[in-house]
Amino acid sequence: MASGTPGAGGCTSSLMAARWTITISIVNIVEGFYMNFLMATPLKMSSITDPTRMGAKVDKWTLRFLSMAQSVARWSKDPSTRVGAVLVSPDRRIVIPGYNGLPRGIEDSTDRLLNREWKLRTILHAEHNAILTARQDVSGWTMYVTHHPCSNCAAVMVQSGIGAVHYIRDDAFEDKWRCSLETAGILFKEAGVHVEGHRLWMG
């Protein structure tokens, strides 16, 4: 995911956005923990990936994991865009979170986080961070993330063998980073990665 000033005429901004990659967390959160953690959320969703499905409820697991990604995003200290992701094993018994921030052991002072150019050169994105934290083969796993992945994160996910991506729709974000996100879509399509966006609504 990215923040900053997008270029008006092409992919210059996406190249800078591609440097954003993500920051750390917890490994092997077992089913009992996230079930109790997520059942309390009041969020509901409807899928808008396919216009014919407008208003259709997504399954309970997608809801829970996207809700969890929203909670993980709050761990980020980025003053511009807080992004959260959870990487889930096929049997749903391993859940690995990640959020955008500076690498482990690097001071995340306010001055650094407010320095856009420095931040874009050093920050890690939520999706990449979750994959790094996994420290194991994640082929066939599913990534749930609070924003549409950027082109760099898409490349990392394709290379890692991620089988599916679910994200929360954000029209303003997607318009701002259209070039990078369109490239990400091309990568996902060619690699056969299932991608689905969902719009949250309160109720």
Catalytic residue ranges: 127
Asked if 146 and 70 touch (Cβ cutoff 8 Å), the reply is yes
**Judging by beta carbons within 10 Å of its beta carbon (0-12, 13-18, 19+), is residue 103 exposed, middle or buried?**
middle
Q: How far apart are CA 115 and CA 184, in angstroms?
A: 26
Distance of alpha carbon 141 from the chain centroid: 14
CB 130 within 8 A of CB 22: yes
Please give the structure tokens belonging to residue 50. Answer: 């396919």
In degrees and rounded to multiples of 5, residue 2 shows phi and psi of -145, 160
Cα dihedral 62, 68, 69, 70 in deg (nearest 10): 110
Q: What is the C-alpha separation between 1 and 135, in angstroms, rounded?
A: 21
196/77 Cα distance (integer angstroms): 27
Distance CA 100, CA 20 (A): 8
